[in-house]
Amino acid sequence: METIGHWINGKLVAGTSGRFADVFNPATGDVQAQVALASTAEIDAAIADAAEAQVKWGATNPQRRARVMMEMVRLINRDMDKLAEKLSSEHGKTFPDAKGDIQRGLEVIEFCIGAPHLLKGEFTDSAGPGIDMYSLRQPLGVAAGITPFNFPAMIPLWKMGPALAAGNSFILKPSERDPSVPLMLAALFQEAGLPDGVLQVINGDKEAVDAILDNDTVQAIGFVGSTPIAQYIYARGCANGKRVQCFGGAKNHMIIMPDADLDQAADALVGAGFGAAGERCMAISVAVPVGDATADALIEKLIPRIERLKVGPWTAGDDVDYGPVVTAAAKANILKLVESGVEQGAKLVVDGRGFSLQGYEDGFFVGPHLFDHVTPDMDIYRKEIFGPVLSTVRAQSYEEALKLAMDHEYGNGTAIYTRDGDTARDFANRINVGMIGINVPIPVPLAYHTFGGWKKSVFGDLNQHGTDAFRFYTRTKTVTARWPSGMKEGAAFNFKAMD
């Protein structure tokens, strides 16, 4: 059986802790590899080496760092299929979805090619007599990322790219559930010209996370995952004096107005709700049709679309709409929440509880589920299910629909389907959610904008990728300079001396 280690100082190394975790094939339920779980000592040693390597990398001019990003773009495109196959085999998502995962990460690396411009400071000539003033954006030193299982390529690239382009060294602790693609990306960075030690990829569990949080050398930490863990990492990291950004859970609503194109809305809901088996923080998990007539018509259009969904292994190619969830525990939690919805009075319109795939009976497959008449007090509404379950909450007015989304504790993404520009504009202006779609079901911004939610979906002041990423991974130094001009001056005792 394959044993997966770490990427340390430019090469793959075995773990030394003696602890391992199983890596499953989600389609069959079989253990396909074991991944080493790093000890605190291993983490500390890797961080120390990264700090040493960062000194030279941070002094490398931004244009040369950008050339590494340019070459990385070429290499990812070269190895796209190879990366996607490995991603699908460990995560379970379909091959096209795996390629999309990589592509959205690649777009951030493309954005990072602009690092020389993004790292420019400001300059003021003659701020005072013979005085110039300017600012510098300088790297923090060692930064770290703790990334989730559901996007094993995209989110590591979102974290690594800007941090490295800004001149930091980087410690990546990816999910131990699908660890291979981050290691493959590290090898590509080395091939692209990144010096040894600047990027370290260390697999691990809570011990590794705590070691990163407690290590004084690490200056900044980025995290994506569940809200309870986001709160934990944010609190502990901030208490240790680090710059921290944490992105947590979501419960994304789509409001469907009576004037919406219901065929378009139904197609959008199926794709956004069931793609990647619902294992997306931007998945639409709540449909909010306005008016019973709209709700009845929408449900009528959703049922056949959902019943036609093809669930299977990624090896089935384009014949599959979504694959298994990542673990047996994830499957059990999804089905437990489905049962709670039935017990609490929601109407299960499409029932996927009995789903089984011939030849893959031990795989972690979950059939599609559609609920109607869900109410805000139900567990399936309050909690993030992270599975192929779409809940319908009927609203009798636009204001009632808006209030549902605004009152929920999560505020990652939301969408509205309407033909009315005034309604769409009002929605975008009033809703207290970070990413908004207007007739767009999954409003994930492109790389040159920033990604981030509101409320309990985010902890920290700056978003992921875009210009915020370069602000997060750098600090500003402001210089006030005056060169002697031969003038004799006495001592100055007030701030007006530069006027």
Give the residue numbers marked as catalytic.
281
Residue 3, strand partner residues: 34
The amino acid present at 328, given as its one-letter code, is A
Dist CA 46 CA 304 (whole Å): 53
Q: Which helix (H) or strand (E) holds 300?
A: helix 292-307
CB contact at 8 A, 123 and 149: no
Please name which of 163, 142, 147, 151 lies closest in space to residue 43, comparing C-alpha atoms. Answer: 142
Rounded distance between C-alpha atoms, residue 74 and residue 94, angstroms? 23
Question: Is the separation of the CB atoms in 281 and 317 below 8 Å?
Answer: no
The number of CA neighbours under 13 Å toward the Cβ of 478 is 5
Name residues whose C-beta falls within 8 Å of residue 104's C-beta, 6 or more positions apart in sequence.
151, 154, 444, 447
Query: Which residues touch 332 (CB under 8 Å, ≥6 apart)?
Result: none
Q: What is the sign of the dihedral through the CA atoms of 399, 400, 402 and 407?
A: positive
Identity of residue 405: A
Please provide the distance, in angstroms rounded to a whole number, between the alpha carbons at the two ends of the chain: 73
Q: Where are the beta strands (DSSP E) in 41-130?
A: 123-128
Residue 279 CA to residue 294 CA, distance in Å, equals 27
SS3 for 122-186 is CEEEEEECCEEEEEEEEECCEEEEECCCCCCCHHHHHHHHHHHHCCCEEEEECCCCCCHHHHHHH
Q: Are the C-beta atoms of residues 200 and 49 closer than 8 Å to each other?
A: yes
Q: Is 262 helix (H, G, I), strand (E, B) or coil?
A: helix
Say if CB 457 and CB 250 are below 8 A apart: yes
Angle 431-433-434 (CA atoms, 0-180°, nearest 5)? 130
What are the structure tokens assigned to 267, written together? 């197609």
Contact 73, 61 (CB under 8 A): no
